[in-house]
Structure 1
Amino acid sequence: MTTPPFPPVRPAEIRVVSEQLGREARGVVGIAARCACGNPTVVATAPRLPSGTPFPTFYYLTHPAATAEMSRLEAGQVMVEFTELLASDDEVAASYARAHEAFLADRAQYGDVPEVAGISSGGMPTRVKCLHALAGHALAAGPGVNPIGDLALERSSWSPERCACENPGAALAAEDDAG
């Protein structure tokens, strides 16, 4: 778990994230969570991309195995189940609303973007729209902050404690080679 402000992102980390995404990483302001091997798992992204586009999803899940697992859960209609839980459990709903506020406070440290003011990601604070975003927030903030992200990770067969990287420790190895 890493909270803002984040240490500077190293070029080797950007290369790994770009490889994970299959495209050039944009607007990365920090590595918010890592795999057991040290590779990035979640990046923090500027609320406005270099192109000028507003980007509300501050915590962005990049780890291929984690993203595949969140997609599997979404395909299995877990979002419907979690949305029903929000509607029926006042404690979970209150905790989810607090997660929304924590997310907004984290992102605000990297700029004010009026187009996304009050908008977090993943459907917070009232519905479940994207398990990728919610799991990313849960991984970055740590257990107990985002209850729906925590539930998605508990349901997942992927774990940040078990390395499932195609190139374990690539970011760290690249930095070691450069140093």
Structure 2
Amino acid sequence: MVAQQLGRVPRAIRAVAARCPSGHPSVIQTSPRLEDGTPFPTLYYLTCSKLASLISTLETSGLMKEMTDRLGEDAELAAQYLAAHRDYLAERDAIDSLGTDVSAGGMPGRVKCLHVHVAHALAKGPGVNPFGDEALALLATNWPTGDCARPE
């Protein structure tokens, strides 16, 4: 199903980390390294094509710049985002340390990819990634709506 959603064979898949209401995978957890040993720092990868499309629409709206700007204005938000970054690193490093403080999605200094933040929020639950939670709240009328992907 994940290969069908992505349109390719998934790389370094470890587990399904979250599912759509229909039961289809929405997020996978990946290994910190590809099969050939190449570092692959994205621990949570969004697979739901419907959700990915909706997030892409949010990204084109300028939302990521607004979120990044708020990091400089809201110390509490910046602290929550730093905690999300540290959570991400700790979980990834517990599997296989890449020896880097680079996590994903621009953390902790900017918001670069909402897909990563939503995947993190879905995998870990509310309250871990503030920007993933915000994006999901903005999409609540459009997702989840049930059958995001249908097996052929």
TM-score calculated relative to the size of structure 1: 0.80
Pair 1:35 & 2:20 matched: yes
**Residue 41 of structure 2 is aligned to residue 56 of structure 1:** yes
Residues 74-133 of structure 1 deviation map (CA, whole Å, 9 limit, x = unaligned): 11111011111111111110000000011111112221223xx21110111110000000
Gaps of 5+ in 1: 1-15, 171-179
Per-residue deviation, residues 49-88 of structure 1 (Å, max 9, x unmatched): 1132211110111100110011100111110111111111
Q: Which residue of 2 aligns with 1:138?
A: 121
Partner in structure 2 of residue 166 of structure 1: 149
SS at 1:60's partner residue? Answer: strand
Q: 4+ runs of 1 displaced by more than 4 Å? A: none
Separation in structure 2 between the aligned mates of residue 159 and residue 106 of structure 1, nearest angstrom: 27
**1:47 and 2:32 correspond:** yes
Are residues 1:17 and 2:2 paired? yes
The one-letter amino acid of 2:63's match is: V
| Larger radius of gyration between Structure 1 and Structure 2 | 1
Given that residues 6 and 47 in structure 2 are in contact (C-alpha distance below 8 angstroms), is that contact kept between their aligned partners in structure 1? yes
- CA-based RMSD of the aligned residues comes to 1.2
Q: 1:127 aligned to 2:110?
A: yes
Q: Which residue does 2:81 correspond to in 1?
A: 96
Matched, 1:84 2:69: yes
TM-score between both structures, scaled by the size of structure 2:
0.94
Per-residue deviation, 1:152:
1.1
Q: Distance in 2 between matches of 1:79 and 1:149?
A: 11
Compute the displacement of 1:166 (Å): 2.9
Q: Deviations over 1:144-174 (max 9, x none)?
A: 11001111111124424x214231xx5xxxx
Q: How many residues align?
A: 150
**1:148 and 2:131 equivalent?**
yes
Which residues of structure 2 form unaligned runs of 5+? none
How has the CA–CA distance of structure 1 residues 90 and 127 changed in structure 2, closer, same or farther, with 3 Å as cutoff?
same
